[in-house]
Amino acid sequence: MNLRLPALLLAGLALAGPALANHFELEAYDLRKCLQWSITRVGQPVRLPAYRAAKARARGGIDVFQAKADLPEGGSLQKFGACSYRRVRGKPVLGCVPALDFPLAGATFVLANDQRFRTATVLRCSSGCDQKIPDLVYELNDDPRSSEAVQEREERARGAKMRRACAGLR
């Protein structure tokens, strides 16, 4: 009986380890609608039809993702999609299934050549790209070496295109 407890504990840690390591946040800018999206994996089920539609498409390594954005006129948006985030040959690849009302639906993103931020990894759209899909997605990194001033400066730099394109709305 005593041998089972350590085995169960190790099995639980093995299952929980990937879940804890999978927490991350993505950031994307929609220049057409002047929205800054914050995108994360959904941890708990949500009682909304959009969540259920995304959950129905999330099979075999695909997770449900939630995108939130504040509207320029006030209020906020919340959308759900089904995406896969994995590493291929050590490089991140983000792919989202099509036909859902989600800011990244149907697109695939790979590591961009230009990595100019310490606090974010830049992913560029490689397929499924159209005028509705953001060109770049930023995976936000916790860099303990970066001061708050550096983080704020890089966040302003990531959002500079949107501020210029949407200056009249804000």
Assess if residue 152 is contained within a domain.
yes
Show the tokens assigned to 139. Answer: 């995976």
In this prediction, residues 73-98 reach a mean pLDDT of: 95
For residue 101, tell me if it sits in a domain: yes
The pTM of this model reads: 0.82
Tell whether 66 is covered by a domain: yes
pLDDT at 144: 73
Average pLDDT, the chain: 86
Domain assignment present for residue 79? The answer is: yes
In a domain, 32, yes or no: yes
- Domain residue limits at 55: 23-165
Provide the terminal-to-terminal Cα distance of the chain, rounded to the nearest Å. 64
Q: Are the beta carbons of 127 and 119 closer than 8 angstroms?
A: no
The answer to the question of residue 65 being in a domain is yes
Indicate whether 106 belongs to any domain: yes
Would the pLDDT of 142 be above 90?
Answer: no
Least confident of 21-25, 100-104, 127-131, 143-147: 21-25
Closest C-alpha to 135, from 162, 155, 153, 156 = 162
Q: Which residues contact residue 85 at a Cβ distance below 8 angstroms, ignoring those fewer than 6 apart?
A: 22, 24, 63, 92, 93, 94
Assigned domain for 6 exists: no
Tokens matching residue 92: 């991140």
Per DSSP, the three-state class of 115 is: coil
* Number of domains comprising the chain: 1
Mean pLDDT of 47-61: 93
- In this prediction, residues 35-39 reach a mean pLDDT of 97
At 67 the pLDDT is 98
